[in-house]
Amino acid sequence: MAILNVRKYGDPVLRRRGEPIREVTPEIRQLAADMIDTMYDEAGLGLAAPQVGAALRLIVVGDERGRDPRALVNPAITAQGGEIVAEEGCLSIPGIFAEVARAEWVQVEAIDLDGRPVALRARGLLARAYQHELDHLDGVLFIDRLDPVTRDRIKRRIKKEGLSEVAHHAFAL
């Protein structure tokens, strides 16, 4: 078990596009296991590899109770629908929360840690978690999805006050 350092807003790795994973090696499985440990240590619902400094297309997401974590390699959203606006946060931007519009449901296709293709459907909070983590793989943060006025207000606040020391909140992804 290893708890990894979660990179914070301003770290350039959060803006890098994750590289596709060509093969699920023991190193990738170890990274996924460490990311799950880190996600739970931070009381998050999901975590993407760039958030721990690895610019790779790998995410981990827990279920709505934070159990049964699953790791997805090279995930892609293949269908989505509906729209829900709800409060969202990010372990890389601790202390900042804002309402973000997301699809209500998504279908995700990926590779599991055994190298097998998997497809899943999620709705509500879980669908939000998948969309948030997939954004991380493209260097996109949730504040990028806010209206410009709100986004600027948040950026000014971070500049002035810095980031919170603790991220612990129900919907940090």
Q: Is 45 in the site for Ni ion (CB under 5 A)?
A: no
The catalytic residue among 19, 42, 104, 133 is 133
Q: Considering only the stretches 7-15, 19-27, 82-90, 103-111, report the one whose residues sit in contact with Ni ion under the rule CB under 5 A.
A: 82-90
- Is residue 173 a contact point for Ni ion (CB under 5 A)? yes
Provide, rounded to whole angstroms, the least separation between the CB of residue 76 and Ni ion. Answer: 18
Q: How far is the CB of 114 from Ni ion (least distance, A)?
A: 26
The residue among 90 and 106 lying less far from Ni ion, judged by its C-beta, is 90
Beta strands in the chain (DSSP E): 46-48, 58-61, 70-81, 84-89, 97-102, 105-111, 117-123
Least distance in Å: CB of 95 to Ni ion?
Answer: 13
3-class DSSP state for residue 91? Answer: coil
- Is 165 an annotated catalytic residue? no
Count of residues that bind Ni ion according to CB under 5 A? 2
Residue placing its CB nearer to Ni ion in the complex, 25 or 150: 150
Hey, how many other C-beta atoms are within 10 angstroms of the C-beta on 44? 27
- Binding Ni ion (rule: CB under 5 A), the pick from 28, 90, 98, 134 is 90
> Which of these segments, 4-12, 83-91, 112-120, 156-164, binds Ni ion (CB under 5 A)?
83-91
**Amino acid present at 41:** D
- Rounded CA-CA distance 133/169 in Å is 17
Whole-number minimum distance, CB 80 to Ni ion, in Å? 19
Q: Does the footprint of Ni ion cover residue 146 (CB under 5 A)?
A: no
DSSP for 129-149 reads HHHHHHHHHTT--GGGGS-HH
Angle at 133 between CA 78 and CA 79, to 5 degrees: 15
Looking at the DSSP bridge assignments, the partners of residue 111 are: 73, 117
The amino acid occupying position 168 is H
Q: Which residues lie near Ni ion (CB under 5 A)?
A: 90, 173
Catalogue the active-site residues: 133
